[in-house]
A = this chain, B = another copy of it.
Amino acid sequence: MKLNEVGEKVLIETAKKTFRKGKPVRIGIGDDAAAIDLPGEKCLVVTTDMLVASSHFPPRIKPEQIGRKSVVVNLSDLASMGAEPLGLIFSVAMPRDLEFEFAARIMKGMEKTVEEYRTYVVGGDLDEADEITIAGAAFGLAKKNRILLRSGARKGDILAVTGELGAAAAGLKILMEKIPHRGYEKLVKAQLEPNARVKEGMILAASGHVKAATDVSDGLAANLWHLSRESGVKIVIDREKIPVHSLVKKFSRQYGYDVDDFALYSGEDFELIFTTPPRFWESVKLALHRVGTRATVIGKVVDGKGVFIKIGESTEELEDRGYEHFK
């Protein structure tokens, strides 16, 4: 059997079975990041994310934007756990005939981005390859009893999301289909220069009232499925409440696309979805509001399993379009 016959999900299951979890390993394979207990009240949170040019770089992406993206994808995984970043390291493979200037500009983009998030690139490894391949690893600290998990959702919790959804995917569509950017510059920017919700993750963790979170890097539907499976709960969201980016709606109308393809089934918005008991919602919302971030309740956690969406009067199961690799 080839990898494209078994698919990514089977590979992840195989990894979960193969790699044993020792005592210091608080969180192993299966969440946005791993966590290892340190002496004292903190744990080390670590994650890795690889960008391969042919799969991950949209047309016309600038080297600085490649640098930014390679930082953000990793910081977003720390944000999902509520961890405070300590630093990042990068293994970078590049073709021999790449322009030096291009490589230097990737580094500048990384540095500018880590400065923005008040963290550091502390090391790396260089190699040769036919296409640019950037594997980053980020590490941070979280309190052991405050870490945000995919498995932390509980019956009765409300489910909320930061910011707005769909912009990054619509931006990718514009770039891939060479659609004029005019009026949609913000969508293109959301794709090329994403943000990680680092301070928001730390606020959620510090509140003590949020136990479950994940980012929407795989798309809202796929990440809700992760939450549902890992927490052993049923999630019901309301389509009307999903905070779709207003330009995504306009763009979809104008070009005849399905808004759901952007807001539900595509990733890279790097917003956080999280759950909290309803009585804490107002204080959590306020804490996020203080740093300028809007959060919206889009659903609830109930007994059962699966992810469902209310559309008008009907409720249907939400399609899980995760596990994109080796399909």
User: Which residues of A come within 8 Å of B, CB atoms?
Assistant: 1-6, 8, 10-12, 14-15, 18-22, 24-25, 27-29, 31, 33-34, 36, 38-40, 42, 44, 46-50, 52, 54-55, 86-87, 89-101, 103-104, 107-108, 110-111, 114-115, 120-131, 133, 135-137, 139, 141, 325-326
Contact = CB atoms under 8 A, between A and B. Distances in A.
Contacts of A40: 39-40
The CB with the most chain B CB atoms within 10 A, among A22, A86, A100, is that of: A100
Contacts of A129: 52, 54-55, 131, 133
A44 B39 CA distance: 12
Nearest to A92: B50
Interface centre among A12, A29, A121 (most CB of B within 10 A): A121
Interchain residue pairs A-B with the least CB separation, the first 4: A135-B135, A50-B91, A34-B122, A137-B137
Number of identical monomers bound together in the oligomeric complex: 2
B126 A48 contact: no
Nearest to A5: B100
A301 to B, nearest CB: 25
B89 A25 contact: no
Nearest to A37: B86
B93 A19 contact: no
Nearest to A324: B128
B19 A110 contact: yes
A120 B2 contact: no
30 contacts: A3-B97, A3-B98, A3-B99, A3-B103, A6-B100, A10-B100, A11-B100, A12-B126, A19-B121, A19-B122, A20-B111, A24-B120, A29-B121, A34-B87, A34-B89, A36-B86, A38-B141, A39-B40, A46-B89, A46-B122, A46-B139, A48-B135, A48-B137, A50-B91, A50-B125, A50-B135, A52-B133, A91-B136, A126-B325, A130-B131
Contacts of A107: 14-15, 18-19
A116 to B, nearest CB: 13
Contacts of A126: 8, 11-12, 325-326
Nearest to A119: B22
A283 B80 CA distance: 48
Contacts of A135: 48, 50, 91, 125, 133, 135, 137
Given A19-B110, A100-B5, A46 B87 contact: yes
A29 B98 CA distance: 22
